[in-house]
Chain A
């Protein structure tokens, strides 16, 4: 797709200020279209001794200058707008995720109803509930004792922001009263302590419950909390409305944590629009891709501190942030059950896996340089995706998966596809029964959406021309079978006239090459107990003449290992699947 370049925007500098690294990307008009030119990278400098985001930004731009040969800085200043000589850039935009998750106290009447719906608001905002309190947690004591106990429990957690939910609109308010009383006591204790420490601002409290209880909330908590009233997350039984709370929590993160980053104001002054969260950029990108391809798209990014998933049908967008990543985000994986899960995703036995996690946490900027490092990164990425995907609950289906973040650092497509299959285990139950897997090779998932705010045509051109590398087309048989039993026969007829017929057995992972630039038609004949996507059991699947399968780095991959996909039994299984995907391990510890 060629987009007509705008006179207003000849070039743009896109900044991605992450928790560990800062990337600077140069986009400009090349010929008749906007293209990705080059990327620069440097460690993020939010912490001592630099304590200024712009240090890392400048270093990344210097790296970009070295890579692109283009002058972008005059001393410490970015040249903007672009000069007649072609120095500098016209516009600058940034996404920032350098701040840790915002700790939040979540309180509600019922764990199953109010808190569960509120959690759905939380999952798409960079916040982390440090405690969840519901009336169901109350010990069997008189109300007064309950209030007393919870006030004591809450007090040390303040001034963390509080989210209070509960009740349907127009329902009784009595259920909220014990929570209000506990908050009132905890809030008054906190304000006393704050006064002694010469701090006066009350902690924020978001009320997203029964709208009829706003007056009671106001009279009980005014003065102890900075109150903000939001639409009810559960206005009627069976109706959920999590988005206003999500937006409010994103804003809270921006005001409280991003704004506290050293150098934030200078970064804000530098950019042409207020910096966004990477997840917001990904939402725009995924929605654009879904609308453009008329498909359901899942964008997945495993970051240094967190994993991001965005699903879009074009009209609808669902997002999720999971606090597990490949650097700072490794800490949650120290939990014994997660260490066990990680060990089952590695192709070699790793007896000192917890030590390895601690080593990577102590040295969070490590880059994979050996096969063992790559295997570790792939396993962590798979586990992070697996947990994030499970948290989507229920996970939506997608026809296209675009993967980015740490997955970009895996050196071969087989590693990436393996991590996606173990992490997301797509079922192909979208519109077409086939799932296209792509790599976001330039890290444009968050930045493409950002560019759309500056110049939509530039974003469209960039994403479609330079965005994705096709990794594989995935076919997933579903149903009941015995391991080793023949479950389908497929015929792949390539555009050069060659055809290949393959029998697939239960438990297998099969790959049939179809290189990029080639096309093929597929016919699949499953046995009577097996179905493909939304088709009935035993129905033959045949790709339409006008919609052939497009070639990719790995070609067609058939995953007949069953759904739901459980963790691999051990290294042998991981080795076998990697081998199918073209990864031939070199290490001595290979167990075969």
Chain B
């Protein structure tokens, strides 16, 4: 017996038709939880709320008033803790043509630092509401911090994603896993939907999706040049991938948010047949895209969740998969990537085409050809 110990790096199969689904939702700052364990929620229900403090504003009074830092307090017109409105003069020096400082926003005076002469103003916080993000039941509550929603249904692991987590109604736009998702397929009827493409998605399609307020796109792949065209960036963009300053879509912090989930990754690849077929049957159903995706440590893959609470009770996925003769697998190695095959024989020690010695699987491809692969280079379907 050969084990394929978490070939995807995460320890469970990448596609499950009946799986327990869990979605952790966390507030950006401590706040109030509005649901209880066991509550049933819809994806757009507010489950928690918090006040998110804006970054404090700094006023360098010593510099503006042109006095040493330790003398600034003599010219201060407000007290620490005092509430001020936008435009309030907080410090003034001189009687004739005085130098004075007005605050640009309403808030509360935090402190005046005697060493630097800098005044800190805490602006009014904004209220942030946390949506459930997925239809299901509240499994657990972390008081003041967040909740975990639980359901059952379809679990699909993607390769790479961009954008925030999203939930919406799935609209199937193509009929074959190799069909590209082009801009001609997108119009105003797609607003707020999550669109299923087949193979590649183009830059023009992404632009049109933003224009029509599409929430998300699930596609097999995108060519690098198309992605860079959409982002208006050069290849140096990749150096930022996974860093905190990485944003997608670019230059749209307040604009419509679009999430792109790629099931295969960067390149010209069709979607895996079993993924496409599974999603094809979910047209007009609600889908949740968990877009967190990291190619750096900690490694994280995006997920597509289709809750079906009426589905049968299921046991958790196995932590280690057994690759048996006859098992259908998807090949992950670069040269055979994406191909579907069936395991024909298993060998604990064999020389691979590369010349290295190790455990090996003999697999038969859909066209009947056979090849030897390493057990870590397959996903069990």
Contacts and interface: CB of A to CB of B under 8 A. Distances in A.
Contact of A43 (B6, B58, B160, B267): B6
A339 interface: yes
A120 B334 CA distance: 38
A439 to B, nearest CB: 14
A334 B241 contact: yes
B236 A148 contact: no
B234 interface: yes
Contact of B265 (A46, A55, A334, A359): A359
A409 B56 CA distance: 53
Nearest to B118: A185
Interface in A44-93: 45-50, 55, 59
B162 interface: no
A232 interface: no
Contact of A188 (B69, B113, B117, B376): B113
A294 B149 CA distance: 63
A517 B9 CA distance: 42
Given A189-B120, A367-B376, A360 B334 contact: yes
Contacts of B8: 363, 365
Interface in A313-358: 328, 331-332, 334-336, 339, 352, 354-356, 358
A145 B118 CA distance: 10
B255 interface: no
A151 B58 contact: yes
A331 B334 contact: no
Contacts of A239: none
Contacts of B295: 331, 358, 361-362
B56 A336 contact: no
A409 to B, nearest CB: 6
B354 A371 contact: yes
Chain B facing A: main interface SS: loop
A181 B62 CA distance: 13
Interface in B2-38: 5-12, 29-30
A147 B333 contact: no
Contacts of A2: none
A48 B334 CA distance: 25
A340 to B, nearest CB: 10
B224 A328 contact: no
Contacts of B372: 369
Given A328-B296, A368-B356, A411-B355, A336 B55 contact: no
Interface in B256-286: 265-267
Given A145-B63, A151-B58, A334-B241, A359 B267 contact: yes
A355 B267 contact: yes
A42 B3 CA distance: 10
A197 B320 CA distance: 39
A412 interface: yes
A370 B63 contact: no
B298 A100 contact: yes
Contacts of A374: 354-356
Contacts of B116: 144, 147, 181, 184-185
Contacts of A59: 5, 320
Nearest to B12: A49
Nearest to B357: A411
Contacts of A369: 333, 352-354, 356, 372-374, 377
B241 A366 contact: no
Contacts of B317: 49
B356 A365 contact: no
Nearest to B29: A197
A369 B266 CA distance: 21
A142 B30 CA distance: 39
B182 interface: no
A142 B172 CA distance: 60
Contacts of A371: 353-355
A100 B355 contact: no
Contact of A366 (B120, B239, B242, B332): B332
Interface residues of A, number: 67
Interface in A269-320: 305
Nearest to A377: B354
Interface in B213-230: 224
A19 interface: yes
Interface in A360-386: 360-374, 376
A373 B333 contact: yes
B144 to A, nearest CB: 8
Interface string B306-332: 000000000001011000000000001
A332 B63 contact: no
B53 to A, nearest CB: 5
A100 B296 contact: yes
A198 B53 CA distance: 13
Contact of A181 (B115, B266, B332): B115
Contacts of B297: 19, 99-100, 305, 328
Nearest to B242: A331
B11 A50 contact: yes
Interface string B128-151: 000000000000000010000000
Contacts of B62: 144
Contact of B335 (A43, A196, A372): A372
B111 interface: yes
B291 interface: no
A152 interface: yes
A47 B376 CA distance: 17
B58 A152 contact: yes
A193 interface: yes
A409 B11 CA distance: 23
A222 interface: no
Given A328-B297, A359-B337, A362-B265, A43 B118 contact: no
Contact of A193 (B7, B53, B334): B53
A443 B10 CA distance: 25
Nearest to A46: B298
B94 interface: no
A192 interface: yes
B235 interface: yes
Contacts of A364: 9, 299
A46 B117 CA distance: 46
B299 A147 contact: no
Interface string B228-252: 0000001110110110000000000
B332 to A, nearest CB: 5
B295 to A, nearest CB: 4
Given A47-B299, A100-B296, A364-B9, A334 B354 contact: no
A204 to B, nearest CB: 20
A375 to B, nearest CB: 9
A358 B332 contact: no
Interface in A174-200: 181, 184-185, 188-189, 192-193, 196-198
A173 B333 CA distance: 58
A360 B56 CA distance: 42
B292 to A, nearest CB: 11
A48 B160 CA distance: 17
B113 A185 contact: yes
10 contacts: A19-B297, A47-B10, A49-B12, A144-B60, A148-B60, A328-B299, A334-B239, A360-B334, A362-B159, A367-B377
Given A147-B118, A185-B118, A359-B337, 6 more contacts: A142-B63, A188-B113, A188-B120, A364-B299, A369-B354, A370-B335
Closest 6 CB pairs of A and B: A411-B355, A334-B238, A144-B63, A100-B297, A411-B356, A361-B295
Interface of A: 19-20, 42-43, 45-50, 55, 59, 99-100, 142, 144-145, 147-148, 151-152, 155, 181, 184-185, 188-189, 192-193, 196-198, 220, 305, 328, 331-332, 334-336, 339, 352, 354-356, 358-374, 376, 409-412
Interface of B: 5-12, 29-30, 53, 55-56, 58, 60, 62-63, 69, 110-111, 113, 115-118, 120, 122, 144, 159-160, 224, 234-236, 238-239, 241-242, 265-267, 295-301, 317, 319-320, 332-335, 337, 352-358, 372-374, 376-377
